[in-house]
Amino acid sequence: NSLSNINSSVLVFSSANENDAPLASAEFINREVKDSVLKIIPKAGHYSFLKKPKLFNNALLEFVEN
């Protein structure tokens, strides 16, 4: 699995009501990438950065600052 070879920090976004990239896919990525963080943005769908920009931006800033 090539995901386990990633040596960078990865922030994975998902939403519980995501249809295009299901939550299970994000959870899989989070399990496989050693240094990953999964952020679930509720009721945001595939475009969480548009539908919930404050939650998205706060999570992104927190990730980058750490």
pLDDT at 50: 93
pLDDT at 32: 96
| pTM: predicted TM-score of the whole model, two decimal places | 0.85
**pLDDT exceeds cutoff 90 at 10:** yes
The neighbouring-strand residues paired with 53 are none
**pLDDT exceeds cutoff 90 at 22:** no
